[in-house]
Structure 1
Amino acid sequence: MHRVMIVEDEPIVRYGIRSMIDWDKIGLRLAGEAANGREALALIGTEPPDILITDIKMPVMDGIELIAEVRKTAPDMKIIILSNLEDFQYAKEAIKHGVSEYLIKSDMMPRDFEQALLSVKDKLYASSRGAEASDPQAERLHKERLLAELADGAACDPAECDERAARAGLAPIRSAYVLLISVHSAGQGFEERQAAVRDAIGRTWTPDDGDHEAFVDKQGDVCVLCDAGKHAAGAGLERVKRRAEALIGLLRDECGMKAAIGIGGRIGAWAELKASYAQAAEAAKQKMFLGSGRVIVHGADDKRVPAEHAEPIRIGTSQIQSMVYAFQSAELAAYLDTLFDRLSVRRDPDLAHIITFELLMILTTLWPDVANDDRQVTELKRQYYDQLSRLETVEESRAWFKQSFEALVRHIAGLYNSDRNSIVKATQYIRQYYDREISLQFISGLVHLSKNYFANLFKKEVGESFLEYLTRIRIDNAKELLRQEMRTGDVGSLVGIPDPKYFSKVFKKITGLSPSEYRALHRDASNDIGP
């Protein structure tokens, strides 16, 4: 398994890199971390990694210096550099030293990062080919690699595909199906899972079932190309399905592994392998909605609503935050149920991943606002990532998010009574010092609450937002000053709104009258009363 080292001076970024990738699944192992280039060089001298992920700007020794030093002793090491957009000039310097991938931190999504790692892994794979000629397993490895390349679409010309297959010792295809075995087993490592699946395949397919070839795709999933023989399409597919069902049972009963198997469309030529593999992969993804322990046939079991025929599904971030701060557990649970119901109908795995990621971001953004212990919040985030990575279906995700948001609501509700006094203090301060510049950031800091939490708690307790309350207090005092015949321009400054035009605008919005109209109305009312 190829070794990876992360070099990044910000601990939270290192944590994010560790957490966003299922390293075992893609066949990589984290071999070390460093906070700067000098620390990295010391580690590299002890145990050189195959892939180096490094930031550019770091203290002590930056990424440019590190790469230059690494190239002196390890010219073939694969390097991925991370940078901010404004540091692109530095990145261009790093590129001169032969980096493999360049990623912008602010744009980096888990899928993009995983694809970069898989691309670098492929380069390592390719560079090792020359050493395989003397390996007794070279022929088998060559077949597997060719199948993986054809599945990935490396060669699409039918004649070229047939020629490459013949050179690898593969017979022409008459009728075959591609199966993708998607295993959900968080307790086993990448290599252990692959070995168990390969062993189970060898025990499931017998000589009577026709030829079969196993190979591993770029994502690390084991696939099987099954010869359907001379049987008619329906009969051939049924034979393949029975073998697939037997394989699922064997993995479950003897290996303790949950698996779903996607089956692509029937093919009759090597050039069709790419399309059938893609169909098998899409079918296997439907286990998110159908669950493991079943065979999913493309076009029969994996029917999903086309995106062009479905309404967009979007997360109401502000709506969720409002329900959390208002302790609306029942309403929030109903909102999540509706959201996951729509995902279940849509049956789009990629969209489901995006939605669950956005929900996780909302959770991890809200907790720091209501927790005083940063280490506790960091540990909670780690637990969230770990727990979510173990979930397999949208129904499991639905239950997990409902439980996690409920725990957050209970936590905030527990804080509510003790923090109500802070709101009283804030309103007292505003009433006394309304003529000063008072921002939300300042007043929340004054009472030692986070800005977002304070804003929501203030509105819940007072019945209006902080800004609405501050503005109302200022205008109430402005009315009093206008009744004392003070000039309009002076009144605005005295109540904390020094801009005369803005003061007049705000005053009229709240009272329905301009300051001069209000003063005139008050004067007329006083004259009508008389002595």
Structure 2
Amino acid sequence: MKILIADDEAPIRDWFAYVLTQKVPGLKAQVETAAGGLEALEKMAEGPPDVVFADIKMPGLDGIGLIERAKEQFPRTVFVILTNHAEFTFAKRAVGLGVYDYLLKSEITARKVAQTLADIQKSFFTAVPRPAGPEAAERIEEPEGVDWSALAGRLGADGPSRYLAVAVQGADRGAVLQKQLPDTPLVPVLWGDCWEAVLPAAAAGFPGWDPPFSVGLSAPHSGAEGLQDALQEAVLALNTAFLSGCPGLYRWGDFREPPQLDSALHALRKRLSTEIAYGGVSAIRGDLSRFLARGSQAGPARVDWVRKNCHRLLAQMEDRYLQELREVEPDARRVGKPVRSLADFRAQMEEMLAAVEERQKERDAPAIDTAVHYIERHYGDRTLSLTKIAGSVHLSPEYFCRLFKQKTGVSYGTYLTTYRLTRARELICTTDLKMAEVARQVGYENASYFSRLYKKHMGLSPEQERRAAPPAGQE
């Protein structure tokens, strides 16, 4: 395995070189180092590494810039970010670039480095069993360097018969697939992260077969001219395993564009930008569920779009999450992890929503006491409204209503009306104010409406209440 360490701190580079050559059992690695992003790019051009450990902040070209430029030229290279807690803003940008993992410099150990490399090897670089004979797997160049006619000949796709492309993630899985389907002629080719082949369309049903990993199947094609489309369709179909997070057989033709996927994303983004600070966690959960439901139906061509937006939504949520928690935990931090599936995305979102919700419960319970005191001081204000009261305690109207009823046992509207009419009864029974003035002092501009409301809630009209009141000093 070829590994490149890109960090502007010489002690970090030296420590990594020592760990990778002396402290990781069984690792046979060629280790190179670079003091910055530009030097790293130059060394990658000389020979692409399998893994790059890159500091996220470096002079000149930083880790983000390095990954952005290198991903286009070296798509097979796996990146691991080295970061400090204070660099969270940079780290969340790297999420959308598909970095494999993060290592926090303050917590890094030789064991952690060894485990990260073991996980990478398992996911991307498992050795390929190479059977003897003409069916041995071979690695081809990047798509732009492929001789499609020659490749079609080797795969048996240059005749008039129809065929499908098949793709599985990880070279070892290709060998397993071939063993599990011994009667299906498969000529394997390694291309990037996937093991790919073509097979006769008639053999593509795989009746009763439940693979322990994910397999992508293209639509039917024929001739050398259809090979590139078939292979791309197989890989895109395989990518849809991200949506379910489950092993299985994924066919290109089984998908259609889900309705209102873009609008579901827009609604969730908008909700995240406005509702966290105002306690709208339940509303966020509703929009999150709608986005997940529609995203899970996305077709192969939209999977990357869904994946990237999951990363962006997590970054947006992390911003709100940290803002919320830093009020009580100044050092609160959360460095995001790559999203492996929609279920993983949901779990990470729910983790942060639950933490924010717990924090809000602690913060918002006193808010209702504050709101009650606000009503008692301003009940005579005719412009007093739900929006104004909720805003006085920094809660959204919807969340305020729900919280108010939980705390007091009655709705906000009922509480305000009852309080106003109670104050009105005191004025009716202890003063000679005209009823229109009583109505005005307790917040009602229309005396007739006040009179009807008073009788409905108190059982007597204001005039009947005054006549029934005992003379002053005889209560």
Question: Normalising by the residue count of structure 2, what TM-score does the alignment of the two structures yield?
Answer: 0.51
Secondary structure of the structure 2 residue equivalent to 1:241: coil
Q: Which residue of structure 2 aligns with residue 223 of structure 1? A: 196
Q: Once the two structures are superposed, what CA deviation does each residue of 1:370-429 show, in whole Å capped at 9, x if it has no partner?
A: 235466x34xx25x527x43xx346x644653453133122232244689999xxxxxxx
More helix by share: 1
Superposition pairs of residues 251-330 of structure 1, within 5 angstroms: 251=212, 259-289=213-243, 292-299=246-253, 301-305=254-258, 313-314=265-266, 317=269, 319-330=271-282
Equivalent residue runs for 1:94-113 within 5 Å: 109-110=94-95, 112=97
Letter in 1 for 2:312: E
What's the secondary structure of 1:313's corresponding residue?
helix
- Match of 1:295, SS state, is strand
One-letter code aligned to 1:304? E
Matched residue, 2:313:
359
**Residue matched to 2:206:** 242
- TM-score between both structures, scaled by the size of structure 1: 0.46
- Could you tell me how far 1:276 is from its partner in structure 2? 0.3
SS of 2:215's equivalent? strand
Distance apart, 1:363 and its partner CA: 2.7
Q: What does the per-residue CA deviation read over 1:69-95, in whole Å, with 9 as the maximum and x for residues that have no partner?
A: x99xx9757589889899479xxxxxx
Tell me the SS of whatever aligns to 1:180: strand
2:108 aligned with 1:154: no
Compute the displacement of 1:224 (Å): 3.1
Aligned to 1:242, the other structure's residue is in SS state coil
SS in 1 for 2:165: strand
Q: Which amino acid in 1 is paired with 2:393? A: E
Alpha-carbon shift at residue 6 of structure 1 (Å): 4.1
The answer to whether the 8 Å contact 1:54/1:82 transfers is no
Deviations 1:173-219 (Å, cap 9, x if unpaired)? 4333211225xxxxxxxxxx643x2442232222x43x21223331x
Q: Which residues in structure 2 correspond to 1:72-471 (within 5 Å)?
A: 87=60, 109-110=94-95, 112=97, 144-146=138-140, 149=142, 152-155=143-146, 160-163=147-150, 173-174=158-159, 175=161, 176-182=163-169, 194-195=171-172, 197-206=173-182, 208-209=183-184, 211-218=185-192, 220-226=193-199, 228=200, 236=202, 239-242=203-206, 246=209, 248-249=210-211, 251=212, 259-289=213-243, 292-299=246-253, 301-305=254-258, 313-314=265-266, 317=269, 319-344=271-296, 346-347=298-299, 348-369=302-323, 370-371=325-326, 372-373=328-329, 377-378=332-333, 381-382=334-335, 385=337, 388-389=339-340, 392-393=341-342, 397-398=345-346, 401-402=349-350, 404-416=352-364, 459=391, 461=393
The CA distance in 1 between the partners of 2:330 and 2:135, in whole Å, is 49
Query: Partner amino acid for 1:181?
Result: V
Q: 5+ unaligned residues in a row in structure 2: which ranges?
A: 22-28, 63-72, 80-89, 101-129, 371-389, 397-475
Deviation at 1:170, TM superposition (A): 5.6
Question: 1:23-62 maps to which residues of 2 (within 5 A)?
Answer: 36-41=9-14, 43-44=16-17, 47=20, 50=30, 56=36
Q: Is the 8 A contact 1:50 1:77 kept in 2?
A: no
Letter in 1 for 2:13: A
Over the matched positions of the two proteins, sequence identity in percent amounts to 9
1:77 and 1:221 map into 2 onto residues whose CA distance is 18
Q: Provide closer, same or farther for how the CA distance between residues 292 and 164 of structure 1 changes in structure 2, counting only shifts above 3 A.
A: closer
For residue 279 of structure 1, report the CA deviation from its aligned partner: 0.9
Q: Determine the C-alpha separation between the residues in 2 that align with 1:295 and 1:113.
A: 24
Listed one character per residue, the Cα deviations across residues 43-65 of structure 1 (whole Å, up to 9, x for unaligned) are: 447757657575639xxxxx76x
CA distance in 2, matches of 1:108, 1:52: 26
Q: Count residues in correspondence.
A: 314
1:172 is displaced (CA, Å) by: 5.8
Q: Name the CA shift for 1:291/1:360 in 2 (closer, same or farther; >3 Å).
A: closer
Say whether the 8 Å CA contact 1:54–1:80 is kept in structure 2.
Answer: no
Question: Is 2:264–2:287's contact at 8 Å kept on the other side of the alignment?
Answer: no
1:364 is displaced (CA, Å) by 1.8
The answer to whether the 8 Å contact 2:13/2:33 transfers is no
RMSD: 5.1
Q: Does the C-alpha gap of structure 1 residues 45 and 402 become closer, same or farther in structure 2, counting only changes over 3 Å? A: closer
Contact preservation (8 Å) 1:263, 1:296: yes
Instruction: For residue 225 of structure 1, give the secondary structure of its aligned residue in structure 2.
Output: strand
Q: Indicate if the aligned counterparts of 2:268 and 2:291 stay in contact, CA closer than 8 A.
A: no
Distance 1:310 1:325 in 2: 24
1:5–1:223 CA distance, 2 compared to 1 (3 A): same
Q: C-alpha separation between the residues in 2 aligned to 1:397 and 1:42?
A: 34
- Summarize the Cα distance change of 1:272–1:80 in structure 2 as closer, same or farther, 3 Å threshold: farther
Gaps of 5+ in 1: 9-35, 58-62, 90-99, 116-135, 183-192, 252-258, 423-457, 465-531
**Which residue identity does 2:7 align to in structure 1?**
V
Q: Find the aligned partners of 1:51 and 1:357 in 2 and give their Cα distance.
A: 31
Contact kept in structure 2, 1:55 and 1:83, CA below 8 Å: no
Q: 1:87 to 1:419 in 2, by over 3 A?
A: farther
* SS in structure 2 of the partner of residue 292 of structure 1: coil
SS at match of 2:322: helix
CA distance in 2, matches of 1:110, 1:462: 32
Moved over 6 A (4+): 79-86, 105-108, 136-142, 418-422
- Secondary structure of 1:303's match? coil
Q: Conserved in 2, the CA contact under 8 Å of 1:84 and 1:106?
A: no
- The 1-side partners of 2:348 and 2:48 are apart by 41
1:39 is displaced (CA, Å) by 3.9
Cα deviation code 1:342-364 (max 9, x no counterpart): 43455532232233212211232
